[in-house]
């Protein structure tokens, strides 16, 4: 039995923790035992991981790179659990896995770049480079992430491995459920529903403000559409104020955080994500599983997920006019929406399932175990 210790930052409902749930469900339990350390837990998502028989240990935030109190907590877990593999993701998780795995002589250290660090300082890049030194492998979750690792950090290509993200298949939503939600949200049968899903914590990243501006142009051009934004955070109040200032508040639904996102995807006709940077963009894969055409910015991992003019449109970040123009094309062409949606669904089935993701991780674990663990 190979003992694996995963270290990540917060567990709420984001992509990194969802992939840990996939690992908890699908890693071969005859070969692997899994334990997870996180800094904070919000909501009940950690309970879903625990239901799979995986212990989740919350230790509190890592306040600095050399937060000795937190490092001591990690070292204590390592001493008791004696993992053969330690796997860190997100900067805090990478920090704790690399430092403590090295100090405690864990045979196999793996670190994972989960972001698209466009704004990371030279000091941050140097620190990340140092943290990869003890690692046997450095995972990038998208071609954009592996490009950063090999080109910016200059890590040997043989040490870097691409393992693209994967998600659980969404539940099938019944037509009655969809109709009820549309009625509840006051969406008329003739209206095209443009949707987006994401945290509203930092507009510098998700750029919902750009999407709202572009949508205002559609309304000005008399396109019968509703914009449904699923997500919550400190920026939400500003977005509501922006919609009011543009006099389009009656055409926008701020749905807030929704645990059952599949229900909301079922009412969308078009899915949009206009971030300034994204390492991958898991919501794009989710939308593709719902056979939705995509409009996304040409950044990070998104430009690899969306096939231009095949599964959707790509636009330059911050370009509100481009966003509005492409949305108008999609709103006016149902056949094109269907065509993009079907091709996206086929691509998602082939590339973005959680089964494929866990299979790739498990293969990496076994390859490294075969090489570095004494039988």
**Terminal C-alpha separation, the chain:** 11
Span 153-182, average pLDDT? 93
Cα separation of 347 and 253, whole Å? 30
Spatial contact of 142 and 301, defined as CB atoms under 8 Å apart:
yes
| Tokens (6 digits) for 54 | 């995986």
Give 136's contacts (C-beta < 8 A, 6+ positions apart).
108, 109, 110, 159, 368, 372
Spatial contact of 228 and 253, defined as CB atoms under 8 Å apart:
yes
Least confident window among 186-195, 232-241, 269-278, 366-375: 366-375
Rg over CA atoms, the chain: 21
Q: How confident is the model at residue 242 (pLDDT cuts 50, 70, 90)?
A: very high
Q: Which residue has the tokens 């089964």?
A: 355
Q: What percent of the chain shows pLDDT beyond 90?
A: 82
Least confident window among 46-50, 99-103, 150-154, 167-171: 167-171
Instruction: Identify the pLDDT of residue 115.
Output: 80
Identify any residues that bridge with 283 across adjacent strands, giving them in sequence order. none
| Tokens (6 digits) for 92 | 């805090």
Res 139 pLDDT > 70: yes
Instruction: Identify the pLDDT of residue 375.
Output: 58
Question: Which of the pair, 295 or 301, is modelled with greater confidence?
Answer: 295
Q: How confident is the model at residue 21 (pLDDT cuts 50, 70, 90)?
A: very high
Arithmetic mean of pLDDT over the chain: 94
Instruction: Identify the pLDDT of residue 285.
Output: 94
Spatial contact of 114 and 89, defined as CB atoms under 8 Å apart:
yes
Instruction: Identify the pLDDT of residue 183.
Output: 94
Res 15 pLDDT > 90: no
Span 23-27, average pLDDT? 96
Strands, sheet with 294-297, edge to edge from the N-terminal-most edge strand: 252-256, 225-230, 192-197, 270-273, 294-297, 312-315
Res 114 pLDDT > 90: no
Span 273-285, average pLDDT? 90
Q: How confident is the model at residue 117 (pLDDT cuts 50, 70, 90)?
A: confident
Res 276 pLDDT > 70: yes
Span 297-309, average pLDDT? 92
Instruction: Identify the pLDDT of residue 279.
Output: 81
Res 193 pLDDT > 70: yes
Q: What percent of the chain shows pLDDT beyond 70?
A: 100
Res 203 pLDDT > 80: yes
Res 282 pLDDT > 90: no
Q: Give the largest Cα separation in the chain, rounded.
A: 70
Span 1-22, average pLDDT? 91
Instruction: Identify the pLDDT of residue 120.
Output: 81
Report pLDDT digits (tens) over 53-76.
999 999 999 988 888 999 999 999
Instruction: Identify the pLDDT of residue 195.
Output: 97
């Amino acid at each position: 039995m190979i003992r694996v210790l995963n270290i990540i930052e917060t567990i709420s409902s984001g992509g990194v923790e969802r992939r840990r749930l996939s690992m908890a469900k699908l890693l071969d339990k005859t070969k692997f035992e899994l334990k997870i350390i996180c800094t904070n837990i919000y909501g009940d998502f950690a309970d879903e991981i625990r239901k799979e028989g995986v212990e989740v240990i919350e230790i509190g935030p890592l306040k600095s790179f050399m937060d000795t109190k937190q490092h001591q907590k990690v070292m204590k877990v390592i001493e008791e659990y004696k993992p053969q593999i330690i796997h860190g993701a997100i900067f805090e998780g990478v920090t704790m896995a690399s430092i403590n795995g090295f100090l405690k002589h864990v045979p196999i250290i793996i670190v994972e770049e989960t972001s698209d660090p466009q704004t990371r300082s030279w000091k941050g890049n140097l620190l990340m480079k140092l943290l990869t030194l003890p690692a046997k492998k450095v995972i990038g979750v998208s071609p954009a992430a592996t490009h950063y690792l090999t080109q910016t950090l200059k890590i040997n290509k043989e040490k870097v491995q691409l393992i693209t993200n994967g998600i659980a298949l969404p539940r099938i939503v019944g037509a009655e459920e969809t109709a009820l939600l549309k009625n509840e949200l006051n969406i008329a049968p003739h209206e095209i529903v443009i949707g987006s899903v994401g945290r509203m914590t930092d507009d510098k990243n998700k750029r919902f403000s750009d999407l709202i501006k572009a949508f205002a142009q559609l309304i000005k051009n008399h396109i019968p559409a509703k914009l449904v934004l699923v997500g919550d955070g400190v920026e939400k109040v500003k977005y509501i104020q922006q919609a009011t200032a543009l006099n389009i508040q009656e055409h926008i639904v701020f749905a807030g955080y929704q645990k059952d996102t599949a229900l909301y995807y079922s009412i969308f006709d078009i899915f949009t994500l206009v971030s300034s940077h994204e390492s991958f963009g898991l919501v794009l894969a989710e939308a593709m599983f719902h056979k939705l055409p995509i409009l996304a910015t040409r950044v990070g991992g998104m430009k690899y997920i969306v096939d231009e003019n095949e599964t959707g449109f790509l636009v330059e970040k911050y370009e509100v006019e481009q966003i509005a123009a492409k949305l108008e094309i999609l709103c006016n062409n149902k056949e094109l929406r269907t065509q993009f949606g079907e091709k996206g669904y086929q691509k998602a089935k082939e590339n973005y399932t959680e089964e494929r993701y866990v299979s790739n991780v498990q293969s990496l674990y076994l390859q490294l175990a075969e090489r570095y663990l004494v039988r």
